[in-house]
Amino acid sequence: MIEIEEALNTSQKGARLAAQTPSWQRREWLNSVANEIQSAKQQLAELIVAEGVKTIREADVEVSRAAATFALSAEEVGRHAGKVIALDRMRGRNWAARSLSASPHRRRARHHAVQRPP
């Protein structure tokens, strides 16, 4: 039970740190992890096989999937989800944790722009 509490506390601290970190920095961290996983692909796959659960082919797929998850997460860090646009995407800027809410007019315009007639 203590390990679970420690894991929860650590994840909460990580969430607070991530919220205070500019998106460009989070993107770099995630890309770095993806690259490290890809660089150690063979060793990681062999480790999974050594556990005795998967074949080398299955382990290779699992390691590739892990690297892809971090790479895709890095891509998503910089995208906005419609309501909030992060202003801290560019490295070298001293952006505070600021964002702009997209106005209802802009959301409607964007929505209509992507709709195609039947």
Interior CA angle at 3 toward 70 and 59, to 5°?
40
30 vs 37: CA distance, rounded Å: 11
* Domain extents in the chain: 2-81
Average pLDDT, the chain: 76
pLDDT digit string (tens) for 1-55?
Answer: 788 999 999 999 988 888 888 888 989 999 999 999 999 999 999 999 999 889 9
Assign 3-state DSSP to the chain and report helix, strand, coil percentages, each to 5: 65, 5, 30
Question: To which H or E segment does residue 106 belong?
Answer: helix 104-114
